[in-house]
Structure 1
Amino acid sequence: MSTLPTFDLLSERVSAGERLSDAELTELATAPDILLIGMLADSARQRLRGSTVTYLRVAPHAVGQDPVAPPDAAHELRVSGEAASLDIALATVGQARHVAGDRTIAGFSWADVARFAQDTGKTAGAVLSSLRDAGLDAVLQVPLDTVGDLEPVLDTLVTAGFRGLRLTVERAPAAERTALLLRVAALQDRYGCIQTLNPLPASLQPFRPTTGYDDVRAVAVARLAAPSIPMIQVDWMRYGPKLAQVALTFGADDLDSVPADDDAPDGRRRAPIEELRRNIVAAGLTPAERDGRFKTVA
């Protein structure tokens, strides 16, 4: 039997900015009907962002790539591929900085930082400081499910000068995500510098696929579990327009990894950016482009 208060009482609390208890969120997350948690998460999104949904256009910069000017539409360069050593990582960031202009550069994961530290005998903080000095603005993946103790990791990132942190999930199955997401509010209360939370796995498991049902539920839990985190993200390239659009009605308010290359051989209306904007508008929301520093640009 459900022990939850009525929907109206829950809605009043969410609309007032109150975080629901872990027990309430867990019960909502396991209920067979996802509409209740979806409506509550949508109320939380509206309180924080109104009708605005932001998106970020990015351009890849591969490890070992010669410097190539990114498309004008790009607002962030993303380092892609695996750097075999810290020296290669530093060289790659330096090459990206050479062509980035005032765009942000994001790349690597916490696992990369730990590997560079182990290989060089340096501390993780020293590795981060050297990457920061080379021009890196953000560590792209700090996964809740593969970083054992997040507090010292966040301490190290903040001490090295990284702000606007981006928390992610690497591969946790649907059944494990709620417990992970419930940890985030306490981290934000302590550090206050988590800017985005992307609750959907970065690595898709072909033999343990998630469902759209599970994914939008995770988005809703993330929004309700962490009302003090400004943005709940969905990766546009990885999850596609259909799931992204539904996720916007379940608490998501930022679309990440939008390609900056806007080729439209079939006409402007079929350009990728126009498709994205149409999807946002069709969900009853207002698109707003942002940069890698989370500032609205259009």
Structure 2
Amino acid sequence: MHETTAAARRILDELPGRRLTRDEAMTLADQASLHDLCAAAMADRLRRHGRSAYYVFNQHINFTNECVNACRFCAFGKRPGSPDAVTHTVAEIRAMVHAKRDQTVRETHIVGGLNPKLPFSYYVELLQAVAEERPEAGIKAFTAVEVAHLADVEGRSEADILTALMQAGLLMLPGGGAEVFSPALRAKLCPEKISGERWLSVHETAHGLGMNTNATMLFGHIETFADRIDHLDALRTLQDKTGGFLCFIPLPYQPGNNALSARGPGGADYLRTMAISRLYLDNIPNLKAYWVMAGIKAAQMALWAGADDFDGTLIEERVGHAAGADTPKGLTAAQLRQAIVMAGFTPVERDARFAPVAGA
């Protein structure tokens, strides 16, 4: 890797204390050595979180893989009528949650495809069932894409849909469906999916209702680094307005079992993106190294590139694995803690809202 240029060094020397501009972020992406970039992100991370690295006991539930969208990067979704399409009843979901009652769960993560056969009442009953089985676990469910789909199908506003879901037990929205906001890229990658502007609008509406949300970016496919920084800038702009994002998760593209001919990011690209994300998103408190899609070792290294969260036990994760992720579908808390300690950090258990668990 090249040495840091004088222009990039000047920018790094002025951090912390002021906000990066888009052009400065591009300069760092192009002209800072990976070592210097990660060192700056690590310094920022230490100021925010010290040596703490957070993890959570969580359960993933995918209630349907049937989807009217046909995103080129997705290996999880199945077209309506496909013999591989699966939709679980509310009773089956309740049984899945009940079956894990002997395990600690602080967060229940629920997402699915856009199944046109499911009425809105299904989503409400699903939340109610999970909340009854796991009242102690925060429910993080339904991406902005799903919320927009429900609003369109029901002929209701997104605020109305979100309010009803919150009343049924929804705590917060996950960050999925953001992909990369560039309209030109979305036209190639996921033409049926909602626009980046609408994704941001759904999250802004959720924030206005008092709900926190997460945000993601899928990278390492056909986008440029400029596209990535534009994506970060849109998130930072909304966060300035609402303050509702709790965590940003850079998701490395998984090249298996899908129609998109792309290789995915290498390790250096992953760490560079993580570091730029930490430095640019100065108003989003948490940065997640999602071990399922990055791999355990890359996620450990990401803790040195600005990340503070290692995600969780992820009981039965399916979306990333459908696209070829070769990581386990779940880890024990002991394995998570060991991975964090081996990386040189202090494991801290958190809840769905990223608050440390007292006495853990």
TM-score (norm 1): 0.86
- Offset of 1:148 from its aligned partner? 2.1
Q: 1:152 aligns with which of 177, 180, 201?
A: 201
Please give the residue correspondences for 1:48-197 in structure 2 after superposition, counting only pairs within 5 Å: 48-63=48-63, 64=89, 65-67=92-94, 68-69=97-98, 70-71=100-101, 72-82=103-113, 84=115, 85=118, 86-142=120-176, 143=178, 145-146=180-181, 147-149=195-197, 151-163=200-212, 165-170=213-218, 173=221, 175=224, 176-197=227-248
> Hey, what's the Cα distance between the residues in 1 that align with 2:250 and 2:333?
23
Asked whether 1:293 is paired with 2:353, we answer yes
Amino acid at match of 2:232: L
> Hey, what's the Cα distance between the residues in 1 that align with 2:219 and 2:9?
34
> Hey, what's the Cα distance between the residues in 2 that align with 1:257 and 1:41?
22
Is the deviation greater in 29-38 or in 122-131? Answer: 29-38
- Offset of 1:242 from its aligned partner? 0.8
1:266 alignment partner in structure 2: none
Is the deviation greater in 235-244 or in 222-231? Answer: 235-244
2:285 alignment partner in structure 1: 230
Structure 1, unaligned runs of 5 or more: 262-270
Partner secondary structure for residue 294 of structure 1: coil
TM-score (norm 2): 0.72
1:279 alignment partner in structure 2: 339
2:192 alignment partner in structure 1: none
Amino acid at match of 1:10: L
1:267 alignment partner in structure 2: none
- Offset of 1:236 from its aligned partner? 2.3
Superposed structure 1 runs of 4+ greater than 6 Å apart: none
Partner secondary structure for residue 265 of structure 2: coil
- Offset of 1:161 from its aligned partner? 3.2
2:43 alignment partner in structure 1: 43
Contact 1:237/1:257 (8 A) holds in 2: no
Contact 1:44/1:227 (8 A) holds in 2: no
Aligned-pair identity in percent equals 26
Structure 2, unaligned runs of 5 or more: 64-88, 182-194, 317-330
Partner secondary structure for residue 313 of structure 2: strand
Asked whether 1:256 is paired with 2:335, we answer no
Amino acid at match of 2:30: T
2:9 alignment partner in structure 1: 6
Task: Give the count of matched residue pairs.
Answer: 284
- Offset of 1:252 from its aligned partner? 0.4
Is the deviation greater in 215-224 or in 235-244? Answer: 235-244
Contact 1:171/1:204 (8 A) holds in 2: no
Is the deviation greater in 73-82 or in 214-223? Answer: 73-82
Partner secondary structure for residue 136 of structure 1: coil
Summarize deviations over 1:51-71 as a string: whole Å, max 9, x none: 111112211334222423334
Contact 1:28/1:36 (8 A) holds in 2: no
Write 1 or 2 for the structure with the bigger share of strand.
1
Change (3 A) 1:129 1:170: farther
Amino acid at match of 1:78: H
- Offset of 1:34 from its aligned partner? 1.4
Asked whether 1:199 is paired with 2:250, we answer yes
- Taking only aligned residues, the RMSD between alpha carbons, in angstroms, comes to 2.4
- Offset of 1:213 from its aligned partner? 1.6
Amino acid at match of 2:59: A
